[in-house]
Structure 1
């Protein structure tokens, strides 16, 4: 944040620290906003409108709240896409086991897994270019923890996902009443087994999601197919034991609609922990960036989610 001094003579330009604050500047400007899908700190002209965050550290270039790239999609549209996408996912993934209960196993385990996997696939293909199609608080938190997504947008994304899950669950309750209990994920094994099973399948999911969402060398155009197949595989493995949630809102919405909160903490904690570890492991395995250069542990990385 350097201001070039020009007084009309031959005096060379000198650099000086910016003055904290500018009188008369609006508190909330209509300037740049964060693009949650391609979050990257770029070299931009400084705004001189905010306090230097590290002035006490005598840094050469104090940070600025407004030093963010201009987005190509507004946050409101991203949240709208995230709400609709999560609604479709929860409706499809929860309806299958409800139908299975109502018609005495007509869907079977393969049908339940296919419904969830297909729902994930079609939502990623249809809304991935708008919101990134997280559809899952564990995915959002994992991306943020690994610096692929701005923390400032995490609460809004989670609010959209939770509200969509609850809306979808009450819609299912109205349509399939009184068979909603079939869509609630409740473990049929011990707490320890259920926790580690949800942890492992969430690890698997987030490892694949991080690969196809943040690495251009992975199959970008087939991201929806890869993630959907992973969801289907995980449900085939864990469906009879825990329901194969992998997603806190997959459990939370039906639990609220059915009033069944049995061992719900497992489905809130285990997927988030497994997701963070899965994302971290892929980030560690990915030793070089797209240009073949070594990626430093704290270097901000470009996050593409499911955009290409």
Structure 2
């Protein structure tokens, strides 16, 4: 799976690990690194990934509301976690699979995403979320439904702190599994989706577990629900930036460069062997 940050820049480590380049540890990593993906294709992939994420995630909330909460909080959390995982594996190798302005900004803050590309990515994410919410409104045709809009269940301060913490947690995991050669990159989608599922399970009843300004803005615009909107802008963005910087602090290692490279090479050979066995069968 491609690096979630999508920058292809070096880690910026100190010491022996300075020149390590984060690349996906897969059997096709060498050939994939030689390809240049047009920026417009990245935007389209980011748009589609965000659209389907919001359509499925907010869609299950709408259905749960209309069907007397038959799905329940656990079911909603599972849908959010699974759809994020699926879309990461679908377009992560093209756009980096941010689907979230907070993640895009956080990656840029640690120099893993070009600052000049932030506006285009954020516009694509917000537009996709808004169109997905519009699609749900057309399909379910309910004026009373908030289309999965995130509204604080308690005080704004309580929701702000909770959104900061769960987004910090999410971004910390993203940096750990998707941008560090010492982690198994192929499991990034599973780890990130599981993190969203866990956050949605316990934070959903309080804040809606947004962790994503675009995910909040789309339903808010279409359903005209703007209560506590600032909470879902400030909390996720600051939480994601803090999470990215926190992982950078522990990313640095005294492990010799040859050991890290040897470990990565062994995993690549293992993946190639599995692919060969599958083709033979």
**TM-score of the superposed pair, with normalisation by structure 2:** 0.79
Q: State the number of aligned residues.
A: 231
- Verify the 8 A CA contact 1:209 1:227 in the aligned structure 2: yes
| Map of 2:145 onto structure 1 | 180
1:218 aligned to 2:183? yes
Structure 1 residue 132: deviation in Å? Answer: 0.5
- Give secondary structure in 1 for the equivalent of 2:122: helix
Aligned equivalents of 2:112, 2:177: Cα separation in 1: 13
Structure 1 residue 70: deviation in Å? Answer: 8.6
Structure 1 residue 119: deviation in Å? Answer: 0.7
| Map of 1:75 onto structure 2 | 39
Structure 1 unpaired stretches of 5+: 1-35, 42-68, 294-308
- Verify the 8 A CA contact 2:106 2:241 in the aligned structure 1: yes
Aligned equivalents of 2:231, 2:91: Cα separation in 1: 29
Structure 1 residue 219: deviation in Å? Answer: 2.0
Structure 1 residue 40: deviation in Å? Answer: 3.1
Residues 187-231 of structure 1 show CA distances to partners (whole Å, capped at 9, x for unaligned) of 111111000000000001000011112101112111110000000
Alignment of 1:99-114 (within 5 A): 99-114=63-78
Residues 21-53 of structure 1 show CA distances to partners (whole Å, capped at 9, x for unaligned) of xxxxxxxxxxxxxxx724338xxxxxxxxxxxx
| Map of 2:234 onto structure 1 | 269
1:239 aligned to 2:211? no
| Map of 1:156 onto structure 2 | 120
Match among 66, 71, 93 for residue 129 of structure 1: 93
1:167 aligned to 2:127? no
- Verify the 8 A CA contact 1:101 1:182 in the aligned structure 2: no
1:196 aligned to 2:165? no
Aligned equivalents of 1:282, 1:268: Cα separation in 2: 22
- Verify the 8 A CA contact 1:216 1:290 in the aligned structure 2: no
Q: Which has the higher helix share?
A: 2
Structure 1 residue 180: deviation in Å? Answer: 3.2
| Map of 1:62 onto structure 2 | none
| Map of 1:117 onto structure 2 | 81
Q: Go from structure 1 to structure 2 and tell me whether the alpha carbon gap of 1:262 and 1:270 turns closer, same or farther (over 3 Å shift).
A: same
1:249 aligned to 2:218? no
| Map of 1:40 onto structure 2 | 9
Larger Cα-atom Rg: 1
Structure 1 residue 291: deviation in Å? Answer: 6.2
**TM-score of the superposed pair, with normalisation by structure 1:** 0.72
| Map of 2:257 onto structure 1 | 292
Q: Go from structure 1 to structure 2 and tell me whether the alpha carbon gap of 1:132 and 1:289 turns closer, same or farther (over 3 Å shift).
A: farther
Q: Which runs of 4+ in 1 moved over 2 A?
A: 36-41, 288-293
- Give secondary structure in 1 for the equivalent of 2:146: helix
Aligned equivalents of 2:255, 2:221: Cα separation in 1: 43
Higher RCO, 1 vs 2 (CA within 8 Å, ≥6 residues apart): 2
> Which range is displaced more, 230-239 or 173-182?
173-182
- Verify the 8 A CA contact 2:46 2:124 in the aligned structure 1: yes
